[in-house]
Homo-oligomer: A and B are copies of this chain.
Amino acid sequence: MDPDSFKDYAKDMAEYITDYLENIRDRRVLPTVEPGYMKPLLPSEAPKSPEQWKDIMADIERVIMPGVTHWHSPKFHAYFPTAQSYPAILADMLSGAIACIGFTWIASPACTEIEVVMLDWLGKMLDLPKEFLACSGGRGGGVIQGTASEATLVALLGAKAKKIRQVKEQHPDWTENEIISKLVAYCSCQAHSSVERAGLLGGIKFRQLEVDEKYKLRGDTMAEAIRKDKEQGLIPFYAVATLGTTVNCAFDRLDEMGIVANREDVWLHVDAAYAGSAFICPEFRYLMKGIELADSFNFNPHKWMLVDFDCSTMWLKDLTYVINAFNVDPLYLKHDMQGSAPDYRHWQIPLGRRFRALKLWFVLRLYGVENLQKHVRSHIAQAHEFEALVLSDPRFEIVGEVLMGLVCFRLKGSNELNEILLKRINGAGNIHLVPSKIKDTYFLRFAVCSRFSKSKDIQYSWKEIKLRTNEVLEEQSLSK
């Protein structure tokens, strides 16, 4: 493709993208396709010769769009938001053109250096304790991971390496395998599935602890679990505090867990994947009380801060253990500046990495902190608007507290009834929600997701939910 064609095609694509996004409300949020729908629409082999651009553009609507779940539609209320914005797309174009792999400083100094500065900018926006920031000149610093799953795993591996080293000093005769078999980590029973996966990957036991009536993991519960485990000769080494669970956006008591973790020399990792973006607004920072007691902190600007996936930002108070956890250092990756600048390959699971900090840079500068705060506040206000609508209808109840952009609710009555309702809502496909469950209570999750979402969308979605509720309740009473 010659450069002039690229410029023409980029124009076409920008036109298509704006048309898609600005009119996304008109599309059915959930597709109606069946598994395997695409195979008959495509040839069974790659073309030998180049195809025409116009055919490819035409195939987007013919082949791709019928199978897209429109995450950026204001009618999408499933999971949590995933970020999307024009500034991020522009930055990604540049990233795709420079296309450097920033595994070491020398492999592209700009890629590393801007990441360091952006993580400092962002850390200051959240008012993180200065120990986490590279600009403090200590052992701390930030890095962009691909996902929160990877951040949880990286912190776990750092904690594991640290504890093995400590134990070996006390018991030089214990083998590494013996020590590992005694290691035990803690999280809330409401923590994300990726926390459990990190435990499986790291080959260590994870205790999923009970929560209080507000679905928060408390310090006492953790202290008691640690006490019991130590009695049995086990070695507590790692805990994850979730700020904003996926299940119902509950916040663990970081302040209490922090005291216990520090006392017991347990690495405390904070998973604020979704809710972390809200901490750019001072009024929500009470929810991260105790952050100064944590060892690592992670949230996803690619969820709620308008930076396209993947951009999961992580800060560590002391990098040493993570960096030393995998001391694999071949000659072809060595360089003269080692030690005077971060080599991010030591901070992550993969070796390769894209130039992702550009997305942060563009989004922070083209929105400005004020507009990002406005975005978060608007989602939270819309969630409260939806909460009020639910509370105004005596057939419904709210599950848990509405603190962020997520409202958990259910029809008073059986789980089965709520399952039928959700199936009906998603079957109609006008809006999209997913369910969750705590203990034996099944409920519906309503997340405000789209950057286009406005009050009128909340009203629309509520109207749709009421319509489907009426249908379901009518059928239920007829069948009795």
Contacts and interface: CB of A to CB of B under 8 A. Distances in A.
A201 B349 contact: yes
Contact of A99 (B31, B45, B83): B83
Given A121-B45, A149-B352, A332-B445, A203 B203 contact: yes
A49 interface: yes
A79 to B, nearest CB: 7
Given A36-B113, A39-B113, A47 B364 contact: yes
A369 B46 contact: yes
Interface string A322-343: 0001101111110001001100
Report the copy number of this chain in the oligomer.
2
A255 interface: no
Interface string A83-123: 11111111011101111110001111111011011001110
A18 B38 contact: no
A408 to B, nearest CB: 11
Interface of A: 1, 3-7, 9-11, 13-18, 20-22, 30-31, 33-39, 42, 44-51, 53, 55-56, 60, 63-72, 78-79, 82-90, 92-94, 96-101, 105-111, 113-114, 116-117, 120-122, 124-125, 135, 146-150, 153, 157, 177, 180-181, 192-194, 196-197, 200-203, 246-247, 302, 308-310, 325-326, 328-333, 337, 340-341, 349-352, 354, 358, 362, 364-371, 434-437, 442, 445
Given A42-B117, A47-B368, 6 more contacts: A39-B113, A68-B108, A69-B106, A84-B97, A147-B352, A302-B352
22 contacts: A6-B86, A10-B10, A34-B337, A36-B340, A38-B117, A39-B117, A46-B125, A49-B368, A63-B110, A67-B108, A67-B109, A69-B100, A84-B96, A99-B309, A146-B352, A149-B351, A177-B177, A194-B350, A247-B330, A330-B436, A331-B435, A332-B435
Closest 7 CB pairs of A and B: A67-B110, A35-B341, A3-B18, A38-B113, A84-B99, A147-B350, A10-B14
